[in-house]
């Protein structure tokens, strides 16, 4: 009896007792459910670092919003969204019309963007504010932040379901998509827009640096378990949800900051998958009997 | 092998279409032309081989025919209500083979133009996928991820997708590059059948023997058209020498241009 009550104390009680824990759980679970499938596509498109770059690119927009309206969610969100979309769009255009490849342009844009953001924040704000923007606070989610997270998550999942075939073909065989359909030109932009949307929604809960972790780590882990996309996508979301929950529990027990705690748990899932993953993990690939992708 | 020969002379019952006409067609990237002033007609039911040295503009021509490259000059007349009614197979390297998708789903992509990006795969289309898999000899591999296929098997998968696309024009860019003989023969048979069905099949080839054996018509290209007509008349020693000489002349030109640039840089 005593043991079971201890388990309840650790794993359930915090969410029953504290409203902020419930809010944190709902917000991070929503983000995990839509972000992780996007991460799977980022990995398949060999753009794993693009999420990271875009998350930095959001900062000056959020900073401008902050300079105009203070720590106001709508202003900072709108600013971040505009900055992220501009960088994503400009990168695509630069890749198309100059000799630089997309990754080089993205790196250049996000470095400038990040510097601009830090400069803007430091011009007025204190370091505490900067920390808040960079690392977020899942504990401090108010109603409007929560609605935004859940709304973005819902919208993203619907868009993913609707454009699933387009995203798959654009990743697998873009020439085929270009040659057979009319809307192929907007598909990559649409995808990046969804990524930006999730990053912007995530930076309030987890911060710009951590939001991308909840997008990429569960995705990378899930990819190591299956070579079927219909399995990888929900698996990534599930790993993200478990990480969010376990991270909150861990944070509540140890007093560790919530954002990093969630990402650390996702990281543990990733490292475990690296070793034990059935579709490309170290132990699997070392076994001589296996004959996987040459 | 005589019955394998097919070409413009083959009159198909429902032949009312003119096929494809190239009018003074000039193609290139940026402002650098890769194919100059090409004129000719490709009738329905034609198996046309496009031969020539590396850098002759063969792939560029195919890209333009597929609608992926806008001509610098001239035009491509294609008498079809939908200019996208063309199935195009680029060189194998352009497809991400590590993508987690199985053989059946990949081949089903061929139905894309009929069902669109949002429509469902009907039972009829599923049957079509099964038939296509059978026709390319991959029965039993339906659920294998494409990452696990050999080069030859992957090429069969791509041909099955072409079958699913079911277009009147089929463009193949070096489809037999690294493929063994059995697979090549199997896929050549498909090309012969496609032409017999009245389709245009335009294939970039390096193997002149294959061209002579299966393709009734040949376009010998070295940025300019060296010769275009029946394969026997086009692939002569003189024409081939001419093509090689022209491509070497271009290489020499390119080297001179580079030298000029280097000199300008030095001073």
Which of B128, B146, B166 is where one domain is finished?
B166
Q: Taking 80 as the threshold, does the pLDDT of residue A247 lie above it?
A: yes
Q: Which residue has the higher pLDDT, B9 or B239?
A: B239
- Please provide residue A206's backbone torsions phi and psi, each rounded to the nearest 5 degrees: -115, -15
Q: What is the residue range of B158's domain?
A: 97-166
For residue A28, count other CB atoms closer than 10 A to its CB: 29
Angstroms from B106 CA to nearest CA on chain A:
9
Q: Taking 60 as the threshold, does the pLDDT of residue B255 lie above it?
A: no
Residue A228 lies in a domain: yes
Per-residue model confidence (pLDDT) at position B260: 43
Contacts with A169 from chain B: Cβ below 8 Å: 109, 112
Rounded to an integer, what distance in angstroms lies between the CA atom of residue A26 and that of residue A141? 10
Question: Which of B97, B104, B117 is the best residue to mutate to test the A interface, defined by the most A CB atoms within 10 Å of its own CB?
Answer: B117
Residue B91 lies in a domain: no
Judgement on whether residues B10 and B140 belong to the same structural domain of the protein: no
Q: Is A292 on the interface with B (CB under 8 A)?
A: yes
Contacts with B94 from chain A: Cβ below 8 Å: 173, 175
Q: Taking 70 as the threshold, does the pLDDT of residue A209 lie above it?
A: no
Tens of pLDDT, residue by residue over B88-115, are 998 866 788 889 999 999 999 999 999 9
Judgement on whether residues B228 and B118 belong to the same structural domain of the protein: no
Q: Which residue has the higher pLDDT, A241 or B78?
A: A241
3-state percent helix, strand, coil for chain B, nearest multiple of 5: 45, 25, 35
Per-residue model confidence (pLDDT) at position A113: 85
Lowest mean pLDDT among A3-17, B120-134, B138-152, B249-263: B249-263
What does pLDDT average to over chain B? 84
What does pLDDT average to over chain A? 85
Angstroms from A234 CA to nearest CA on chain B:
14
Judgement on whether residues B177 and B239 belong to the same structural domain of the protein: yes
Tell me the residues of B at the A interface, defined by beta carbons under 8 Å apart. Answer: 66-68, 84, 86, 88, 90, 94-96, 98-102, 106, 109, 112-113, 116-118, 145, 147-148, 165
Judgement on whether residues B77 and B147 belong to the same structural domain of the protein: no
What's B243's domain CATH number? Answer: 3.40.50.300
Q: Taking 60 as the threshold, does the pLDDT of residue B40 lie above it?
A: yes
Q: What is the residue range of A152's domain?
A: 2-286
Per-residue model confidence (pLDDT) at position A246: 95
Contacts with A171 from chain B: Cβ below 8 Å: 96, 99
Residue B139 pLDDT level (bands cut at 50, 70, 90): very high
Percentage of chain B exceeding pLDDT 90: 52
Q: Taking 50 as the threshold, does the pLDDT of residue B265 lie above it?
A: no
**Structural domains of chain B, count:** 2
Residue A118 pLDDT level (bands cut at 50, 70, 90): confident
**Structural domains of chain A, count:** 1
Residue A292 lies in a domain: no
Percentage of chain B exceeding pLDDT 70: 86
Judgement on whether residues B17 and B113 belong to the same structural domain of the protein: no
Average pLDDT over residues B226-242: 91
Nearest to B180 by CA among B203, B149, B208, B150: B150
Average pLDDT over residues B47-68: 91
Residue A293 lies in a domain: no
Judgement on whether residues B78 and B191 belong to the same structural domain of the protein: yes
Contact criterion met (CB below 8 Å) for A226 and A44: no
Which of B166, B192, B227 is where one domain is finished?
B166
Q: Taking 90 as the threshold, does the pLDDT of residue A267 lie above it?
A: yes
Contact criterion met (CB below 8 Å) for A227 and A178: no
Rounded to an integer, what distance in angstroms lies between the CA atom of residue B247 and that of residue B238? 14
Is the complex ipTM more than 0.90? no
Instruction: Specify the pTM.
Output: 0.85
Judgement on whether residues B63 and B11 belong to the same structural domain of the protein: yes
Residue B92 lies in a domain: no
Rounded to an integer, what distance in angstroms lies between the CA atom of residue A33 and that of residue B65? 43
Between positions 196 and 255 of A, the ones with CB within 8 A of B are 223, 226-229, 232
Residue B90 lies in a domain: no
Q: How many residues does chain B have?
A: 267
Judgement on whether residues B37 and B124 belong to the same structural domain of the protein: no
Per-residue model confidence (pLDDT) at position A155: 97
Per-residue model confidence (pLDDT) at position A260: 87
Interface contact flag, B88 A162, Cβ < 8 Å: no
Average pLDDT over residues B234-259: 73
Residue B152 lies in a domain: yes
Alpha-helix residue ranges (DSSP H) falling in chain B: 58-65, 103-108, 112-115, 123-135, 151-165, 181-196, 208-214, 231-234, 237-266
Judgement on whether residues B8 and B73 belong to the same structural domain of the protein: yes
- First-last CA distance in chain A: 53
- Picking from A179, A223, A291, the nearest residue to B84 by CB comes out as A179
Which of B166, B194, B218 is where one domain is finished?
B166
Residue A291 pLDDT level (bands cut at 50, 70, 90): low
Judgement on whether residues B172 and B243 belong to the same structural domain of the protein: yes
- Picking from B90, B112, B118, the nearest residue to A180 by CB comes out as B112
Residue A294 lies in a domain: no
- Burial class from Cβ neighbours inside 10 Å (0-12, 13-18, 19+) for residue A16 reads exposed
Rounded to an integer, what distance in angstroms lies between the CA atom of residue B186 and that of residue B193? 11
- Picking from A180, A223, A227, the nearest residue to B84 by CB comes out as A180
Tens of pLDDT, residue by residue over A23-67, are 889 999 999 999 999 999 999 988 888 888 888 888 888 888 878
Q: Which residue has the higher pLDDT, A49 or A267?
A: A267
Per-residue model confidence (pLDDT) at position A3: 66
Judgement on whether residues B55 and B143 belong to the same structural domain of the protein: no
Angstroms from B234 CA to nearest CA on chain A:
31
Interface contact flag, A228 B145, Cβ < 8 Å: yes
For residue A73, count other CB atoms closer than 10 A to its CB: 17
DSSP string, A80-97: HHHHHHHHHHHHHHHHHH
Q: Taking 70 as the threshold, does the pLDDT of residue A287 lie above it?
A: no
Judgement on whether residues B189 and B260 belong to the same structural domain of the protein: yes
Tens of pLDDT, residue by residue over B79-93, are 777 778 899 998 866
What's A206's domain CATH number? Answer: 1.10.3470.10
Chain center to CA of B154: 17
Residue A291 lies in a domain: no
């Amino acid at each position: 009896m005593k043991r079971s009550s201890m388990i309840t104390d650790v794993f359930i009680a915090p969410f029953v007792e504290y409203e902020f824990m419930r809010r944190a759980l709902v917000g991070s679970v929503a983000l995990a459910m839509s972000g992780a499938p996007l991460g799977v596509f980022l990995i398949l498109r060999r753009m794993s670092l693009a999420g990271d770059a875009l998350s930095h690119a959001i900062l000056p927009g959020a900073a401008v919003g902050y300079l105009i309206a203070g720590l106001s969610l709508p202003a900072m969100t709108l600013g971040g969204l505009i900055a992220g979309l501009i960088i994503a769009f400009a990168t695509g255009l630069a890749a198309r019309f100059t000799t630089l490849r997309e990754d080089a342009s993205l790196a250049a844009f996000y470095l400038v963007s990040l510097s601009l953001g830090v400069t803007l924040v430091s011009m007025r704000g204190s370091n505490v504010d900067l920390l808040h923007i960079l690392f977020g606070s899942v504990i401090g989610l108010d109603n409007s932040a929560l609605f935004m997270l859940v709304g973005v998550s819902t919208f993203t999942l619907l868009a993913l379901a609707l454009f699933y075939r387009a995203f798959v073909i654009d990743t697998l065989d873009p020439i085929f998509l270009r040659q057979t359909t009319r809307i192929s030109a907007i598909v990559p932009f649409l995808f990046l827009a969804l990524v930006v949307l999730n990053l912007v929604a995530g930076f309030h809960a987890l911060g710009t640096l951590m939001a991308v972790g909840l997008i990429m780590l569960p995705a990378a882990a899930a990819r190591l378990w299956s070579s079927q996309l219909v399995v990888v996508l929900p698996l990534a979301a599930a790993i993200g949800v478990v990480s969010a929950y376990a991270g909150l529990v861990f944070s509540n027990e140890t007093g560790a900051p919530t954002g990093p705690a969630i990402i650390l748990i996702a990281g543990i899932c990733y490292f475990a998958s690296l070793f034990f993953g059935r579709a490309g993990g170290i132990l699997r690939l070392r076994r001589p009997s296996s004959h996987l992708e040459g | 092998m005589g019955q394998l020969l097919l070409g413009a002379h083959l009159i198909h019952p429902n032949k009312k279409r003119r096929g494809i006409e190239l009018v003074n067609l000039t193609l290139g990237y940026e402002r650098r032309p890769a194919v100059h002033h090409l004129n000719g007609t490709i009738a329905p039911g034609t198996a046309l081989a496009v031969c020539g040295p590396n850098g002759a503009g063969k792939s560029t021509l195919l890209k333009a025919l597929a609608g992926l490259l806008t001509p610098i000059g001239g035009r491509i007349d294609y008498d079809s209500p939908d200019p996208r009614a063309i199935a195009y197979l680029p060189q194998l390297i352009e497809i991400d083979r590590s993508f987690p998708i199985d053989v059946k789903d990949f081949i089903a992509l061929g139905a894309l133009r009929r069902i669109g990006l949002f429509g469902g795969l009907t039972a009829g289309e599923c049957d079509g996928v099964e038939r296509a898999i059978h026709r390319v000899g991959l029965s039993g591999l339906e659920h294998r991820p494409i990452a696990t296929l050999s080069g030859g098997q992957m090429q069969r998968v791509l041909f099955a997708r072409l079958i699913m696309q079911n277009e009147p024009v089929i463009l193949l860019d070096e489809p037999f590059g690294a493929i063994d003989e059995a697979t090549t023969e199997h896929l050549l048979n498909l090309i012969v059948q496609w032409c017999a069905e009245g389709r245009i099949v335009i294939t970039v080839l390096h193997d002149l023997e294959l061209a002579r054996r299966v393709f009734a018509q040949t376009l010998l290209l070295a940025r300019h058209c060296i010769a275009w007509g029946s394969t026997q008349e086009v692939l002569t020693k003189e024409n081939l020498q001419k093509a090689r000489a022209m491509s070497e002349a271009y290489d020499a030109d390119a080297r001179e241009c580079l030298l000029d640039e280097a000199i300008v840089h030095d001073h």
